[in-house]
Amino acid sequence: MSQHSIMRNSMTASSGRAARQVKHPKLPSLEIEFSSREFLNHKSRLGDYLRRFGLEGDAAFRILAYHYAISHMERSAGVPVSLREKWKLEYRKIENDERVIQFLNELVVNDPKGTALPEWYQFLVGRRFREGSGKFFTPKPIAHVMAQLLPRIKNPIIMDPTAGGGTFLMEASTIWNDSGCTLIANEVEPSLIELAMLTLELGTSPRHVKHYLCANIFDTPAELTAWHGRVDYILANPPFSLRIDNEQFDSRLFREGYRSSDALFIDTALNLLRPGGRLICLLPHSIIANSEFAMLRSTVEELWNVLAIICLPEGVFQLNAGTTTRADIVVLEKRLASRDRANTRIVLASVPSVGIRLNNLAKDTRENELETLLISDEVRKALGI
């Protein structure tokens, strides 16, 4: 993705200029189930209740997960009995405390699709992932718009190889809500794949086929290689800037000397996608802009059609991960053949607002200029959506 070649051949759009064409209806706004103040109060109360039993972290989340599962039995029917029993072991420690059970009922009864589960996970368990893991949970307004960048085809296979809480796949499932699709969630962390499983079982249509994998994508495990060349779409927020030293990892970028997880994720996606398949992911802004990644950008242009680069404002991970790391949305299409002509219509955009607070000092905002960008006929045509 060398900056010069992209800028020379691209169709550019800013959110302000794109807004002049309004034939398409505005994308639906997301409803926020918990206002910031209300959610903070809920977190404080539940944390206090469970600490009285010496329950924190994974144990605390298992209690909440089990209460979701038993409160919405029909929706959660796909959760394996063995996993329910694992959660139940912790739940037994509080099941006779009427005050705790009543409060859990208040939290869960009005959330049958498990919308708040990833937020709860971040509060109860997420600290250890923020400390050196490179994993940042994707804010829902950003995931919502990224899913809108998927072209509508029949029965797509959609994968998130670093699924976290399943937010991307949840958003993708709403697009194919009344039709079939296959959703594949993979996570190296067992507790995260449990979260993704519960979230997707509660929140997606029974028509959707779901697969759950727990594998390290940089070890090229059999669970993932079985999907090589079969996936239509990948939606992801891969770990940022982790060093990968697995010499068995089959990757052109690895052979070219790149060792960061975010860079090597691009080759992982290339292996998984069918020719013509689409990758929509978040990558550090440094990959797009810094000279040390010039060879990577050149390799990407050789193997992919670059469809869009959308620069996000600084601070999108500030409130949930405590980092100012900048990220961009990158949309790539796997070339049908190496001789294919490069794409010459590329959307380059920078959006100042994404529908979330960017730091503790900013006012609460619901405006999402990513949605405004997608109103443009020109942008939609370039992206094939």
What is the average per-residue pLDDT within 288-297? Answer: 88
Tens of pLDDT along 43-77? 889 999 999 999 999 999 999 999 999 999 999 99
- Ranges 48-52, 73-77, 135-139, 226-230: which has the least confidence: 135-139
| All domains of the chain in start order, with CATH | 3-29+137-383 (3.40.50.150), 36-125 (no CATH)
Which residues make Cβ contacts (< 8 Å) with residue 81, sequence separation at least 6? none
Q: Write down the number of H helices and E strands in the chain.
A: 19, 9
Q: Residue 355 carries which DSSP code?
A: S
Closest CA to 38 of 379, 385, 364, 374: 364
Cα 67 to Cα 217: distance, rounded to the nearest angstrom: 31
Which amino acid makes up residue 124?
Answer: L
Q: Residue 126 carries which DSSP code?
A: T
* pLDDT at residue 13 is higher than 50: no
Q: pLDDT at position 32, please? A: 40
Q: pLDDT at position 5, please? A: 37
Q: What is the pTM of this model?
A: 0.86
* pLDDT at residue 254 is higher than 80: no
Cα 156 to Cα 1: distance, rounded to the nearest angstrom: 27
- Percentage of the residues of the chain whose pLDDT score is greater than 90: 56
Q: pLDDT at position 22, please? A: 32
Residue 198 phi, psi dihedral angles, 5° rounding: -65, -45
Cα 344 to Cα 268: distance, rounded to the nearest angstrom: 25
How far, in whole angstroms, is CA 336 from its chain's centroid?
A: 26
* pLDDT at residue 27 is higher than 90: no
Q: pLDDT at position 251, please? A: 77
